[in-house]
Amino acid sequence: MTGQSSSGPEQPTLSTRSVGVGRMGGSGRLGGRDAWWLAVRGGHLDGLRIALTAAASSIAALLVLVGGDIARRPTYLPYLPGLLTDRGLLPGVLLALALTCLPALAVAGFATRVGAARRSARLRTYRLSGASTADVRRVLGIEGALAGLLGVVGGLVLYAVLVGVIAEFGSPAPLRRDLVGGSSEIVGWHLAPAVGLRVADLLPHAWAIAVAAVVVPVAVLAAAHLAARSVDALTHADPPSRRPVRLAGRALPLLLAGGVLAVVLVAWIADGRANAAGLPVGALSVVLVVTGLLDAGEAAASSLADIVAPRTSRATVLLAARHVQATPRAMTRSGRFLVIACLVGGIAAGAGSTTLAARDVDVEFFSQSYALVGVLIAIAVGVGALALLVGVVEVIVTRRRLASATRAVGAPPGAVGRAVVLAAIAPVAPAVVLAWLAGAVAGGSSMSRGMGSPVSVPWGWIVVCGLVTVLLLALLLTPAFVASRRMARVTELRTAA
């Protein structure tokens, strides 16, 4: 059979197993086996949620395992040979890895909400069948724990693959040029063979495994617990309003406010006062600039949608434009990590370029440091793009019914998915490019003032980074679009939304 799943409509059913008071036994509480069964019973959407959560957890677990390796063997690193030779950089690298874990775990937290509306309906059914709120929390907790443990296993697999690839093909290593005075600078990269990699190196450190096995599931459980607060089967809260929010009237003020805020803060940072105020103010500035950039991106996309929607002859563009107008924040919320990563990346690029252009600096140390920062920024950008992917999948899942309806009226498969991806990229892409540019200017200016050297912004490099990020987004969102082609289930239209 084609065109529709042969298993029929995906509906939660309790017909084959009771969840009622009878199952609670004498304790009046849902048994562990039953809670497990209910946690994994939900069908494709719950499988997708668990898979996404596990994928994000895997990245966090991988970072923990790599961090454990770096802490254990700082002198021998198969990952970036010849880059982490300065022991003084080690604490910074470990801290950066730990910080990069946070967005990965946050993405896992986002992922625990994918398909929340459908899950709420299923959990409501459990409640009506006699399950208590504690039972429902237990079901959610088991689902979160399962995803977290799968994430740890996934992290171990990724680690093995990473080390295996390094053993087979080598790893990126810097090309250095000797300078006068005995030091050197990095002038490029090449693939260096992993000489002396032993079988024991394929195994991560036992402590790192232990930390990953505890930290990742606990974090995912905490995220699942937070996500459970929005489950109406627990709170009896009304479902969120679907009333569309039109941005047309406030597009221009928002654009102006976001733009002005971004410029003022960039100038403020560039003036060097952020350095004096310390890390919290700097971090706050980054958040405010990101918010400003995202607001500007939203407003620009919404204004563009206002112009395009009444005129376009392309159905996908019409759906995307109206979606952007109705829910302007749907995508930028999950694009926040990406924009933060790009802004920090831009700051690092500007600061690094200006530092290395200055006279009387330890070129070897700084080029090594900024190269390491670059590697971490690349990881952070990947995690940020994953966050956006989770956001897109969530929107595609919530629009599954619409996808089914449009299929029935002759839309090609994936039309709604294409519209969602377009609506996701439209507001985030300009914010990403602006973040790289604003960050580079701020980083370069700030470092220039601090070091008394001329500003050096690597414009070509920044433009490449911006374009590569947008390309990465497009590549990463392609699976979401492909998955959306299989999402339509017309039989679902026979029941009320």
Residues that bind other proteins (CB under 8 A): 1-4, 6-8, 242-244, 311-315, 318-319, 322-323, 325-326, 401-402, 404-413, 415, 490-491, 493-494, 496-497
Q: List Cβ neighbours of 73 (8 Å cut-off, separation of 6 or more).
A: none
Q: Rounded to the nearest whole angstrom, what is the least distance from the CB of residue 89 to other proteins in the complex?
A: 50
Cβ-based nearer residue to other proteins, 7 or 75: 7
What six digits make up the tokens of 230? 């929005």
* Unique residue bearing structure tokens 């992993």: 194
Q: Rounded to the nearest whole angstrom, what is the least distance from the CB of residue 17 to other proteins in the complex?
A: 16
Q: Rounded to the nearest whole angstrom, what is the least distance from the CB of residue 419 to other proteins in the complex?
A: 10
Note every long-range contact of 33-42, with CB atoms under 8 Å and residues 24 or more positions apart, other chains counting: 35/135, 35/138, 35/139, 35/142, 36/142, 38/126, 38/139, 39/139, 39/140, 39/142, 39/143, 39/146, 40/143, 40/146, 41/12, 42/12, 42/118, 42/119, 42/122
Residues paired with 56 in a beta bridge: none
Q: Rounded to the nearest whole angstrom, what is the least distance from the CB of residue 304 to other proteins in the complex?
A: 15
Q: Rounded to the nearest whole angstrom, what is the least distance from the CB of residue 324 to other proteins in the complex?
A: 9
Cβ-based nearer residue to other proteins, 18 or 495: 495
Q: Rounded to the nearest whole angstrom, what is the least distance from the CB of residue 369 to other proteins in the complex?
A: 48
Between CA 392 and CA 21 the distance in angstroms is: 39
Main-chain dihedrals φ then ψ at residue 454, nearest 5 degrees: -70, 150
Between CA 298 and CA 302 the distance in angstroms is: 6
Q: Rounded to the nearest whole angstrom, what is the least distance from the CB of residue 203 to other proteins in the complex?
A: 44
Cβ-based nearer residue to other proteins, 377 or 423: 423
Cβ-based nearer residue to other proteins, 229 or 311: 311
Cβ-based nearer residue to other proteins, 13 or 85: 13
Cβ-based nearer residue to other proteins, 153 or 318: 318
DSSP state of 183: -
Between CA 82 and CA 175 the distance in angstroms is: 9
Where would I find the H helices in 358-458? Answer: 363-398, 400-408, 415-451
* Unique residue bearing structure tokens 């239209």: 493
Q: Rounded to the nearest whole angstrom, what is the least distance from the CB of residue 410 to other proteins in the complex?
A: 3
Q: Are 371 and 83 in contact (CB under 8 A)?
A: yes
Residues 249, 252, 257, 260, Cα dihedral to 10°: 180
Cβ-based nearer residue to other proteins, 55 or 319: 319
Is residue 285 helix, strand or coil?
helix
Q: Rounded to the nearest whole angstrom, what is the least distance from the CB of residue 483 to other proteins in the complex?
A: 16
* Unique residue bearing structure tokens 């395009």: 308
* Unique residue bearing structure tokens 């919290």: 280
Cβ-based nearer residue to other proteins, 51 or 493: 493
State the distance between the two ends of the chain, measured CA to CA, in whole angstroms. 26
Q: Are 423 and 398 in contact (CB under 8 A)?
A: no
Cβ-based nearer residue to other proteins, 75 or 241: 241
Q: Rounded to the nearest whole angstrom, what is the least distance from the CB of residue 302 to other proteins in the complex?
A: 12
Where would I find the H helices in 116-196? Answer: 116-128, 133-169
Cβ-based nearer residue to other proteins, 255 or 317: 317
Q: List Cβ neighbours of 358 (8 Å cut-off, separation of 6 or more).
A: 451, 452, 453
